[in-house]
Each structure stands twice: as C-alpha cells, then as structure tokens.
Structure 1
C-alpha cells in the first residue's frame, strides 16, 4: 500500500460482508486503492486512512434509510450510493470508476479526514424570504433528468457560477424515499443551495429546488411553487411535461429547460410548449450522457438551441442569463 502513487484514488467501502471482496476486486482491478472496508454501521470509523471518496452498497429494501442518512451526515468525503450490487460487464465497472472520480473532485483535504464531526462542512439551508433580489424578475430554468441525471446535475452545479438571476427547478426521476438524500449530495457540489420543495416556496434567484416525486406542484403568478396534494397524473414521478406546462404558463419567455441524461421521452411535449412561449430548450450532448433518450426525444419534438456537456451547459447558462450591465444595450 505504501508503494501506491500519490495521485491514486483512495476509496473507502461500506458494504455487506459478501460484497466487500467483490467491490475490492473491481476497484483494485481498475487501479484504485481500497483503504478501508467495513459494514454499513454507525457511527462511522474515526480514521479514514486518507480516503478520497466513500462507496456505500445499498442492499435493496434491507438497508435502513435512516442509517444511510446518517452516513451522508457523518462522512467527511463525498458519498456514492450503489444500488443493485455488482455489475457483470466492463461497461458497468468503468461507469462506477468514472462516478467515483467525479465525486472525488469535491473531496476534503486529507489533513481533515480524521476529524469527522468537527470539520465536515455544514449543509446549506435555503430560506424562503418572499422577495426577489433588486426587484428584478429572474429566469426560471427546469433541469430534467432520469438515468444518469444525478451525475450530470452534479457536474452542472459544480461548474455553475454564482450571482446569476436564475432559479432552478430540478425534475429528476427518482424514488421519493431518496430525494432528500440526492438533494443533500447536490447541495455539496457547488455554491448553489439545493433543497426539496416544501408545501409552498417563493422562487428566488440563486436557489435550486428539487420538485417532489410524490406530489404534483402548481406555479402561480406570485413566483411561488406549491404542492398540490395530489399525485402526478403520469407514470413519471415527477412529470417533466406537466411541470414545463406550468412553467410556460407562469413565466412566459423568461424561462428555459435543460434535459440531461435519461431514458424515455418525458419532457419532449413540454419542451415544445416552452419553445412556443419564447423560452429556450437545451440538452446534454449524447456522447456525454449515460443514456441519451431523454434529450434525443426533445430534439425530435422542437428546436434545441444548444447542446453540450453539463459543464458547457452551465457556462452557456451564465452567458444567456447574465444581468445587463449599465450603459450596455
């Protein structure tokens, strides 16, 4: 272990006893170093042996979700939640390694890893103050995704500059029980605070709100998003098409949608509506997607103004929505 290169990715693994050896074989076979492995138990280990990222194997319904929440709260390094166990293909292995490398870019300095409780950065809290900054009208942009979406969203938020007159609504197909966990992980990816929509929120620039999976939402002319109390009328949870229809009606031309990696065609109909009111439609480039069905469907339904990697989309959004400078037309 002492002979490993300094720049090798060091991984801690929390998994069932029967999975640890398999994960170690996959990780070490791809040139990573497993510096710690153990059971998914709290409290977490006091010493992390210089780990850059934590891989947690979630064994279906047997995993205690409260325990997973505790892991996210206590971990001093980024966390990757693995669903479905070990994949059999080389493509699966490479995707796992790529995800770990992506998350590790947010890792804390190794000098901090032993002080788990004291030095872990606190999660940001989004406050609903009820007023728009400088009495200006921000842009409302929907970020839609499915399979591969969380990774793309993390890369997008990591590259997104601060101080933009934009409010973001995340419509990610994901189980309700894991939405708050995803919100916490995305909250750590950049300077934009991320939180799950409550019963009623005022939409303000500089915020990222995750749309609930279990409840449809309504947008009104007071820049508010409100939980309706009834389920989405769709097989998709949340329903990107239905959300885009609401956004187009409430925000007209000062809105847009970016569709990231995903399976299916949810959002393609709503993209047409957004484009029809003067909003913009962008997509993640096919080559950077895990699955490109979702953005491809948008391209078949309407004109896509821009397509790129998550980082390129973030930079383009900054250019599109920058506030006008005094004296410049």
Structure 2
C-alpha cells in the first residue's frame, strides 16, 4: 500500500482528494491536514509515502511546509494546486525546494472526468522516487549558503572541443529540474553571451507550464522566454529559451524550429530532439548538459554531441533529486564532466570567456 497524507484547507477539496484516492486499491489516506503546520507535524509523525500539498494554506503556507518537510524528513511531495498566478509562483518555488511534480486542481470542465485517475497515477509515480534532504532556506536566495564545491568525478575534455568558440548551450531536465536550472542559471554571469536552449519536462497543464518562464526569469535575473518557431539564433545572445509545452524544439540552419512530431521516450518536448539538432548544427561549438530527471531522455543526444566534439556535462548524483537521466548519460559515456549545477555554470562561463578572448 502507498500511504498518502492529504494537505488541503478546503473541506470540499479534501473530500474530493480522499474519494479519488480511495478508487485505487493500492493507495490509502493515512492522514489529512488543513494547514501547513499540521502538515509538517503529521508528516513527521505518520511518515507517509507521499504528500499531496496545497499551496495556499493558513498558519504555514504550502511552500513553507514543503521546505520544512524536505529539510527534516524528506518525503515525495505532489503539489495539487490551482492555476492562479500567485499560486503558480509558489508552486514552482515548492518544486525548487524538492517537491516532485504538480497536478492542477479540477477546473470544472470536461477534463475533470479523468482527474481522479490522473491524481492516482501521479501519486503512484512520485512514490517510486527516492528524495533527498533540501536545505531550509527562502528561495529568493537570502541567507542561503553557497553550493558545495564538489570535485568533478568524470573525465577529460572531449577531443576536438579545445580552440572552438562556444556558440550554443543546450540543457535538458525533468523531475527536480526547476531547482537545478535555477542553480545553474543563477551561477552564469550576467554577461554570458551564448544562447541557452532548455527542455524541461513539466507534466502539468498549459497554465502551469507557461508561467515557468516568468518564474525562472524572476529567480535567475536572465532573460527567459519560450521559443518561437523561426527565431534566428544569432539574435538570441544572452537569452534563455525554453521548449514550449507539448512541442519539440530544435535548431536548423541557424533558426529555432518547433514541431508536433511524435514523442521520444514518451516525452514531448524531448531532450534528445534538441541535442541531436545541436550536435548536427554546432558540433564542437556547443555544450550540452543533462540535469536531474527520471528516464533516459537526453543520453543518446548528449552522446551524439560529444561525438561531434561538444563539451558535455551530467549533473552529479549527490545534487540530483532523481539520478535517472544523468545516470544514463554517465553510463553511456556521453558526459565528459559530472558536476553539480553551479560547477557546470562555472565551467560554461570559463568556456565562454576563453572563446570570447579568441575572437
């Protein structure tokens, strides 16, 4: 049985959550909390397998409760939240603090018919993920300790990368990605010029996904937007582009392209689609990074990038929420360096400075 703690201040919504979870014989609700303080207390006492967490709670917000739970007794957390803009930013802050996924509350339309099944599937999914302790700190950076300077555990620079200008950075992330992307982009200097193209798997509805670019810009100070078909890469210096919800993003002939092509590894957007196009287009003038996430999306594309001379990175296990995608990249030999996000950013900055000095 998967033991679930339901955290929700609305009695009506708690009833809906309880009834939906009861439809799955492998799920059992072991407790209900109506405020954030009670959520922390019950999580410590009951030690559930999964917490469903509302964001807008009395006494202690869902974000504060998430931070405290992940600091004191790490537990898989599924955020169940509405698409209100204020709540969306709190939701992404919670994901950066260690929550694993987000499910939008029922909308009151035809999509509600399958909502209970989607809730049970999401609870089952996050229950299988081994979570790690997160530091208790506000997510605006105040009072936060600097990331540890972990030593690299992997290998040499790929052959052919020395002496080439860094013209493109491609990043792929999934579960745990909002936090890892925030760490990496925050550590890039404000004058970093190569464009950064990112695929972040977000298994949420479009309102949640669309707000991610605004949240990431707010967190990092970089110009972040969703990619548009036809954008000219040479005009994107210093910008961060995200693959739009449910669209592949790739580059071709110096232009950003979007596609409704079939999913890869059950993912659209797919990290492999982006990486493979960057390998063909930029060869040794690119860098690729696979960050935290489930599955193996990105490993094959990163290997192709490395074969073309690109500098390649995988996030290290100690800093990952889920060491799945980076593990596959490391095992396949695709990752030339295995580092935490801030150290990846430092290496990218060095490469950009070196290539800039050669121009």
1:189 aligns with 2:207: no
Instruction: Tell me what 1:172 maps to.
Output: 200
What is the root-mean-square deviation of aligned Cα atoms in Å?
3.9
Q: Determine which of 323, 330, 335 is the counterpart of 1:304.
A: 335
Instruction: Tell me what 1:158 maps to.
Output: 186
How far apart are residue 161 of structure 1 and its match? Answer: 1.0
Question: How far apart in 2 are the matches of 1:58 and 1:292?
Answer: 18
Instruction: Tell me what 2:289 maps to.
Output: 258
1:209 aligns with 2:241: yes
Instruction: Tell me what 1:22 maps to.
Output: 38
Per-residue deviation, residues 64-93 of structure 1 (Å, max 9, x unmatched): 32x2x24347x7x983255478x999x76x
Using the size of structure 1 for normalisation, the TM-score is 0.66
Per-residue deviation, residues 115-160 of structure 1 (Å, max 9, x unmatched): xxxxxxxxxxxxxxxxxxxxxx762111111222221111111211
1:238 aligns with 2:252: no
Question: What SS class does the counterpart of residue 186 from structure 1 fall into?
Answer: helix
* 8 A Cα contact 2:303 2:335, kept in partner: no
Structure 1 residues 170, 99: closer, same or farther in 2, change over 3 A? farther
* 8 A Cα contact 1:179 1:196, kept in partner: no
Instruction: Tell me what 2:345 maps to.
Output: 314
Question: How far apart in 2 are the matches of 1:15 and 1:233?
Answer: 39
* 8 A Cα contact 1:165 1:323, kept in partner: no
Question: How far apart in 2 are the matches of 1:208 and 1:175?
Answer: 21
How far apart are residue 258 of structure 1 and its match? Answer: 0.7
* 8 A Cα contact 1:271 1:301, kept in partner: no
Question: What SS class does the counterpart of residue 219 from structure 1 fall into?
Answer: strand
Question: How far apart in 2 are the matches of 1:195 and 1:321?
Answer: 22
Q: Determine which of 79, 90, 104 is the counterpart of 2:93.
A: 79
Q: Determine which of 64, 68, 71 is the counterpart of 2:82.
A: 64
Instruction: Tell me what 2:280 maps to.
Output: 249
Using the size of structure 2 for normalisation, the TM-score is 0.61
* 8 A Cα contact 2:170 2:275, kept in partner: yes
1:292 aligns with 2:318: no
* 8 A Cα contact 2:92 2:178, kept in partner: no
Greater helix proportion = 2
How far apart are residue 237 of structure 1 and its match? Answer: 2.6
* 8 A Cα contact 1:55 1:80, kept in partner: no
Structure 2 gaps, min length 5: 1-6, 12-31, 46-53, 67-76, 103-121, 144-164
Counterparts of residues 10-159 of structure 1 (less than 5 Å): 15-16=9-10, 18-19=32-33, 20=35, 21-25=37-41, 40=56, 60=80, 63-65=81-83, 67=84, 69-72=85-88, 79-80=93-94, 83=102, 95=133, 98=134, 101=137, 103-105=139-141, 139-159=167-187
Q: Determine which of 204, 219, 223 is the counterpart of 2:251.
A: 219
* 8 A Cα contact 1:141 1:166, kept in partner: yes
Instruction: Tell me what 1:200 maps to.
Output: 230
How far apart are residue 324 of structure 1 and its match? Answer: 4.6
Per-residue deviation, residues 243-284 of structure 1 (Å, max 9, x unmatched): 111111122221121111122111111112101211111111
* 8 A Cα contact 1:152 1:260, kept in partner: yes
Question: What SS class does the counterpart of residue 315 from structure 1 fall into?
Answer: helix
Question: How far apart in 2 are the matches of 1:317 and 1:141?
Answer: 8
Structure 1 gaps, min length 5: 1-12, 30-37, 108-136
Per-residue deviation, residues 257-315 of structure 1 (Å, max 9, x unmatched): 11111221111111121012111111111111122221121122225322211111111
Question: How far apart in 2 are the matches of 1:165 and 1:152?
Answer: 20
Question: How far apart in 1 are the matches of 2:198 and 2:249?
Answer: 12
